[in-house]
Structure 1
Amino acid sequence: MTEETTGTVPVQKTDEQWREELSPEEYQVLRKAGTERPYTGEYWDTKTAGVYQCRACGSELFTSGEKFDSHCGWPSFFAPLAEGRVRYLHDRSMGMDRIEVRCANCDSHMGHLFEGEGFDTPTDQRFCINSISVKLVPADAAGNNTADE
């Protein structure tokens, strides 16, 4: 799923609304495509079973069942929860050609997708996601146990 996806997203808010709803740190990453420093985020090494929601809109994006330890300092997943949960954009910033991952529901920046790195996962993809972009809802709190790690 590396093709660039376009179109409008269901949740659309003004910049002022996003600033009111998000902390300055969340706003910088989610709305301005910033990044947190490696090994500093809340979820980079968590093993808790559950669902990772977009911190901006609550859309369910990833599960702990697809999370793996890539030793990169950010939460890594080998696939999103389901097709259409995230969208992809070409990112040519910082002198690199990367694939940006955004929430398909509100267009918030999640992180980047890397392929062909040789990880022993079903997809050989690494969705490198900022912890501050997501919120983990533990399986027992969500009332389900479908995500296991």
Structure 2
Amino acid sequence: APGPIILIGDSFHNLIDGIIIASSFLINFAMGIAVSLSVIAHEVPQEVGDFGILLDQNYSKKKALFYNTLSGSSTIPAAIVSYFILDITKAAIPYILAFSAASFIYIALSDLYPELQHRNIELKHTLRQFLLMMAGIGTMILVFQVHI
């Protein structure tokens, strides 16, 4: 059944998000805020999607909301615990952040790139996708240039 798999996967995903947030705050406050906002921005559509999957699996709205909230609640405890553990083992922080950045880039490109390869897609659509990817990269560069 997809419902429990979604909830377990989302709990693990949110736990990793907490570790990434803690790592970024240990670099500096501005990076912590930027990463936290990025995580929130990607979590909103994901949680809405998970909620929809749970509803599709015949969970009631109340039960789907409860389980979705429960699976999402692993982020904050993971961030707090990770903050103190990573403060002791600071050498791991660059590797954690590099891994998380690579994961985000891989996921984004694996979702967007196949769409760009369709032969019957209009040039306008391909250019729009490309410009949006470049806007995302530009936004990341701008945030880190201004705040770091």
Shared fold (TM-score greater than 0.5)? no
TM-score under structure 1 length normalisation: 0.23
Higher share of residues assigned helix: 2
Question: 1 or 2 for the larger relative contact order (CA 8 Å, sep ≥6)?
Answer: 2
TM-score under structure 2 length normalisation: 0.23
Query: Could you say which structure has the larger radius of gyration?
Result: 2
